[in-house]
Amino acid sequence: MPKRAILGEDMEGKIYKGTTTVGLVCKDGVVMATEKRATMGSFIASRTAKKIYQVGDRIAMTTAGSVGDAQFLARLIRVEANLYEIRREKKPSIRAIATLTSNLLNSYRFYPYIVQLLIGGIDEEGSKIFSIDPIGGAIEEKDIVATGSGSLTAYGVLEDRFSPIISVKEALELAVRAIFSAMKRDSSSGDGIDAVRITEEEYYQLKPEELDAIVSKFKK
């Protein structure tokens, strides 16, 4: 059976967690970051894979798993978030988006979407990140979270340096450092970094030159 481009698993059932994504809950917002490599087994299928999607006004989703499934779910969740706002005349909360996504994935549990997601941002209740598995299990992460084959390395960096009172600016550098460290040790992660910061004021995706400036502080 032919393989499809993946960020986490192939169609033959063998798991390739070829992704590193991280999320940090800060005192003034949320930071989420990923690398850009997509693999088909040991083959690098893409060096510019998109793994962060904006699914709400101040809400982001990171993806690991099938590229097609991730792209479809990102489109679907954006549409459902817009419909929620139209019907209820208010913006959906992060918990509402996470619950919607969880219910959707659970309804297809016997023919699951091959994805692992992080959904996070800031709303009236504050900063939040939820991790969601392929059959809809959702867990609210209170501080840090990492997924994928590079997650062990990423967690080592995050747990060593994370503080409950960390600011978005500090967390951004920490998230990039965690991804960069994972890329150095995990052959399935690499080819650059994407990162977003989400505060009450804005949803902002960092430009390549801004990420390069951060990496240059600790690159050896």
The helix/strand count (H/E) of the chain reads as: 5, 12
**Cα–Cα dist 56/36, whole Å:** 22
Length of the chain as a residue count: 220
Domain boundaries, the chain: 21-210
Q: For residue 86, what pLDDT is reported?
A: 93
> Average pLDDT over the chain, rounded to whole?
87
Q: Which tens digit of pLDDT belongs to each residue from 150-176?
A: 889 999 999 999 998 999 999 999 999
Q: Indicate whether 40 pLDDT > 70.
A: yes
Burial class of residue 80 in the structure, from the number of CB atoms within 10 Å of its CB (0-12 exposed, 13-18 middle, 19+ buried): middle
**Cα–Cα dist 12/54, whole Å:** 30
Q: Rounded to two decimals, what is the model's pTM?
A: 0.88
Q: Which CATH number fits domain 21-210: 3.90.79.10, 3.40.50.2300, 3.60.20.10, 3.40.50.300?
A: 3.60.20.10
Q: Indicate whether 197 pLDDT > 60.
A: yes
pLDDT band at residue 18, thresholds of 50, 70 and 90?
A: low
pLDDT band at residue 220, thresholds of 50, 70 and 90?
A: low
The one catalytic residue among 19, 20, 21, 62: 19
Q: Which tens digit of pLDDT belongs to each residue from 209-218?
A: 999 999 998 8
20 tagged catalytic: no
**Cα–Cα dist 20/209, whole Å:** 21
Q: For residue 13, what pLDDT is reported?
A: 45
